[in-house]
Chains A and B, each alone.
Chain A
């Protein structure tokens, strides 16, 4: 590493530029190509040219025709869109309070959010099992209070359980850029608006929201991509009824050993995610967030 980075820098400086700068970019790009791009290309190749031989789009038509795939595609998209919308609303409200109605302990909350981000997503589902599971806290309280045999909270193994977990886990990803954007807003603007008689709701709509739009757009599209790719939450939910595209890739490849089909689903998933991610990069560069 030491000698390697030394030489990287050597390429940058102008006087006698014997080696152009891009030479120093080659080693890491070669590693990336070998260990990431080449495997991805193999997945695409496998999807049209299974090991059994022959090139055909048969795997694609088979997969597209299957009910399981269509259902997974639909579930993935609506879960991701729903979770993103939920994260945006919730994250905006919470960040607004932390930034503009400051309270003692607000900094601790901001620190807590950073810590929260460093934990894996499936912990949320694990916790929800204790809270809303059939024998969990909420149902326990209900049965204790009413004497009923079963509690009313049975949504955990449905898409709604996944939605709740995703909103919980991904909201901090929206709050962080929002808090950064809010700290740039000159509070004098708010005071002026307020002294001219604007109600809080109006200030939020006319002063704060326009300033926060870039951060909202950037955070929202990042969360959308992450929700499309989320696997741990769905796996831990353990529900047969909730299948998303990443889950389908896993079950086709590992449980059914049907690699061509897994590769087809993977290609579709990558196309959607990378397309959206490209959009996110364009949006965040355009708005400078």
Chain B
């Protein structure tokens, strides 16, 4: 459309590949290659091995994987519950009220995650609620951080919802609670799914707040990767990183399968 000559097109595509491949594809490939190699002291990795995966799928790394999964699933479910409740409540408010709710619930995006971690640490290290040193403080911080994204995507979905459905249901005498349960939520289900996937992915990779408050017995995968690279075992770090990426992708894929089935309703 923009470039018509064959030569011009080829040149543009070449430019695209030159920019795109080294910047975006290479990093992921390099991590994958490193996780399978025994040495990397020259231009290319050498010595194929699956040893790093043996290290990455047992002992503390396996614990870290389950820790991350439990944290991410609970944080996403909590965030989804609070976020969609807030989004549904905001949608029923007048302009001013909706704007206040929008601002409040989007605030955690703007506040640096490290500061969220610090704030939670300061607030919940003293009575009446002492969560410091327990796994709950990590789950709480993750929930705070991802609620904003759940709120945002559910809000956007509510705006796109065709009001004709709920009006038709209401005109046929359905009570508001019935309309919500039987009409609105099923229509929102695909977006709720997508929001859950987003929250899960964000929580799986959360490092900043976690570094501020993880207890010694609740180390999620990103902390484990940092610990490995910090003591110089880059290859183990790469293998654990591949495990993290694979787990995230698997869950995202599963969630997208659910979504396609739900959208037939």
Contacts and interface: CB of A to CB of B under 8 A. Distances in A.
Nearest to A23: B89
B226 A235 contact: yes
A131 B30 contact: yes
Contact of B23 (A40, A171, A190, A231): A171
Nearest to A97: B16
B181 A6 contact: yes
A18 B74 CA distance: 35
Contacts of A171: 23-24
Contacts of A43: 115, 118-119, 122
A1 B80 CA distance: 10
Contact of A122 (B115, B222, B234): B222
B26 interface: yes
Given A25-B101, A43-B115, A127 B89 contact: no
Nearest to A229: B112
Contacts of B86: 25, 28-29, 32
A100 B119 contact: no
Interface string B109-130: 1111111101111111000000
B107 A36 contact: yes
Contacts of A141: 42-43
Interface in B229-265: 229-230, 234, 237-238, 241, 244-245, 248-249, 252
Contacts of B202: 118
B92 interface: yes
Contacts of B252: 118
Nearest to B89: A25
Interface in A112-161: 112-113, 115-116, 118-124, 126-131, 135-137, 140-141, 143-144
B180 interface: yes
Contacts of A236: 226, 229
A4 interface: yes
Interface band, chain A: 35 or more
Contact of B85 (A27, A113, A120): A27
Interface in B194-219: 198, 201-202, 204-208, 211-212
Given A101-B1, A137-B44, A231-B114, A9 B234 contact: no
Contacts of B234: 126, 129-130
B119 A123 contact: no
A27 B1 CA distance: 53
5 contacts: A5-B88, A24-B88, A25-B86, A236-B229, A277-B109
Contacts of B140: 35
B88 to A, nearest CB: 5
A118 B225 contact: no
A12 interface: yes
Given A94-B16, A101-B3, 18 more contacts: A4-B81, A5-B181, A11-B89, A13-B179, A25-B90, A27-B85, A29-B86, A29-B104, A36-B144, A126-B234, A129-B229, A131-B27, A140-B42, A231-B113, A246-B114, A254-B211, A266-B114, A269-B112
A187 interface: yes
Contact of A28 (B89, B177, B185): B89
Contacts of B206: 120
Contact of B20 (A94, A126, A143): A94
Nearest to B120: A39
A38 B179 contact: no
A31 interface: yes
Contacts of B15: 93, 97
B123 A10 contact: no
A10 B176 contact: yes
Interface in B171-190: 175-177, 179-181, 184-185
Contacts of B48: none
Contacts of A135: 40-41
Contact of A246 (B81, B91, B208, B225): B208
B160 interface: no
B106 interface: yes
A239 interface: no
Nearest to B2: A100
Contacts of A278: 110
Contacts of A235: 207, 211, 226
A187 to B, nearest CB: 5
Closest 8 interchain pairs by CB? Answer: A120-B205, A9-B180, A127-B27, A277-B110, A12-B92, A39-B119, A39-B123, A229-B112
A90 B19 CA distance: 8
- Between B8, B28, B122, B244, the greatest number of chain A beta carbons within 10 A of the residue's beta carbon is seen for B122
A121 B234 CA distance: 16
Nearest to B93: A21
Contact of B115 (A118, A172, A238, A246): A246
B27 A118 contact: no
B64 interface: no
A66 interface: no
Contact of B92 (A24, A37, A232, A259): A24
A131 B26 contact: yes
